[in-house]
Amino acid sequence: DTGVSQNPRHKITKRGQNVTFRCDPISEHNRLYWYRQTLGQGPEFLTYFQNEAQLEKSRLLSDRFSAERPKGSFSTLEIQRTEQGDSAMYLCASSYYQGGLTDTQYFGPGTRLTVL
Amino acid sequence: ILNVEQSPQSLHVQEGDSTNFTCSFPSSNFYALHWYRWETAKSPEALFVMTLNGDEKKKGRISATLNTKEGYSYLYIKGSQPEDSATYLCAPSANQAGTALIFGKGTTLSVSS
């Protein structure tokens, strides 16, 4: 296992369409995170899972966004009725949390979404 | 909501130059600070995680320091090489669980040979 993988790497869609992205974390990592980066900004936290439980969601995650991690392994992020403002790089990260203050999040290469 | 500032926004240096960047964050409710390097078309790469005031970390020619009382961290690169060209991001943890990272906008370094 060489790292976090994300598919697709690029997605172009028309406004109003639904899109789904997949993230495969590093094996044995129990935490999985989604971030979004728009032009000129740093990545912004969207949500995270510990195993299959979604434990935290940012206010940035509108009702059109849904994330799942059904078996505690891979995760999907779906955006319904896409808007041009959804155009961004969507990053996934994973970590192995053993307790304590923090852990290192390992990022995938991202999925770049363009909404026309 | 944490306000994370990084400076400078961009930097261009010659091969062999040493350089440093600044990350500023609120000093209250500090949990941890992460540094990442993000090269174009690649995944962000974790450089350091620092939690204690006065922490110093080193990885090859790159080092970082942390001052939690005044709310800043410095990243140093000694003898910059073209392969150091990347965007360097700092990210304090937003909570004690260490889950949500709050990223700055980054410092983009370009090293010319």
Which chain A positions have a beta carbon within 8 Å of B1's beta carbon?
none
Do B23 and B103 meet the contact criterion of CB atoms below 8 Å apart?
no
Residue B11 CB coordination number (10 Å): 18
Residues 6+ apart with CB under 8 A from B47: B35, B36, B37, B57, B59, B62, B64, B75, B88
Write down the pLDDT at residue B96: 73
pLDDT per position in chain B (113 positions), as tens?
Answer: 578 999 999 999 999 999 999 999 998 888 899 999 999 999 999 999 999 999 999 999 999 999 999 999 999 999 999 999 999 999 998 777 777 899 999 999 999 99
Write down the pLDDT at residue A60: 83
Q: How far is residue B29's CA from residue B22's CA, in Å, rounded to a whole number?
A: 20
CB-nearest to B44 from A44, A103, A107 is A107
Q: What share of chain B is helix, strand, coil (3-state, %, to 5)?
A: 5, 50, 45
The distance of A40 to chain B (nearest Cα, Å) reads: 7
Q: How far is residue A94's CA from residue A25's CA, in Å, rounded to a whole number?
A: 6
Average pLDDT over chain A, rounded to an integer: 94
Q: How many CB pairs under 8 A join A and B?
A: 68
The reply to whether B40 touches chain A by the CB within 8 Å rule is: no
Residues 6+ apart with CB under 8 A from A55: A48, A49, B99
The reply to whether B37 touches chain A by the CB within 8 Å rule is: no
The distance of B22 to chain A (nearest Cα, Å) reads: 15
Q: Could you tell me the two tokens for B71?
A: 């709310």
> Which tens digit of pLDDT belongs to each residue from A57-79?
998 888 999 999 998 899 999 99
CB-nearest to A42 from B46, B96, B104 is B104
The reply to whether A44 touches chain B by the CB within 8 Å rule is: yes
